[in-house]
A and B are shown apart, each in its own frame.
Chain A
Amino acid sequence: QVQLVQSGAEVKKPGASVKVSCKASGYMFTDYTMHWVRQAPGQRLEWMGWINVGSGNTKYSQNFQGRVTITRDTSASTTFMELDSLTSEDKAVYYCARGRSGWQLDCWGQGTLVIVSS
């Protein structure tokens, strides 16, 4: 079955970077896009960007001011989301989500908690 398994929780200091991974299984990895969405405590979901896994093309939300980078390793069926210059406002659960050809997000990872604390 389709499964997205994310890396474990991270604790980072302000100003640092975090890199979260998302390993896919159960489908043709390069046939879909992969999106990243985050959710701060008690807040709505926030879309961060996507990568076309086949081509490597990316699209990011301008709300992250160039701090987010999404990459993939097709040999490992894994995508990565790196967020730079962390502040306390980046404390959130980060999700990867598969995008179908119609762009709906049909399968989500279990989430990765990122805590930013000095």
Chain B
Amino acid sequence: DIQMTQSPSTLSGSVGDRVTITCRASQSINSWLAWYQQKPGRAPRLLIYVASSLESGVPSRFSGSGSGTEFTLTISSLQPDDFATYYCQQYSIYPWTFGQGTKVEVK
């Protein structure tokens, strides 16, 4: 299975901060990567797909980049609604796999 590793596991930030989460794949997945946001007790929400395409309805402060094995999710200006856990997911090779998550918490 392709291993997806996110860093950091926890990120402390303040409203207005620029934050970046990294996701590394154990082998190349081209651009077949998605990012999801999950809040406690809720289902994941798609934010980014094919590494850099913004899902409809997602605020433009979210952006994604990367290809191959290294990817990033950036929130340009952290908002109160953004404190949550973020997961990357590869859908290049079966079985599809997710990262362990990055919790963005209030500093």
Contacts and interface: CB of A to CB of B under 8 A. Distances in A.
Interface in A70-114: 95, 97, 102-111
Nearest to B55: A106
Nearest to B6: A44
A45 B43 contact: no
Secondary structure type dominating chain B contacts: loop
Nearest to A98: B46
Contact of B87 (A45, A102, A107): A45
Contacts of B45: 108
Contact of A104 (B1, B34, B97, B99): B34
Range, interface on chain B: 20 to 34
Interface residues of A, number: 20
A61 B2 CA distance: 12
Given A61-B95, A103-B91, A105-B34, A44 B101 contact: yes
B87 A95 contact: no
Indicate the member of A63, A107, A108 with the most B CB atoms within 10 Å: A108
A104 B91 contact: yes
Contact of B43 (A46, A63, A102, A109): A109
A44 B89 CA distance: 10
A36 B55 CA distance: 20
Contacts of B91: 103-104
List the 8 closest A-B pairs by CB distance, nearest first. Answer: A61-B95, A104-B49, A108-B43, A47-B96, A45-B98, A44-B100, A44-B98, A103-B91
Interface of A: 44-47, 59, 61-63, 95, 97, 102-111
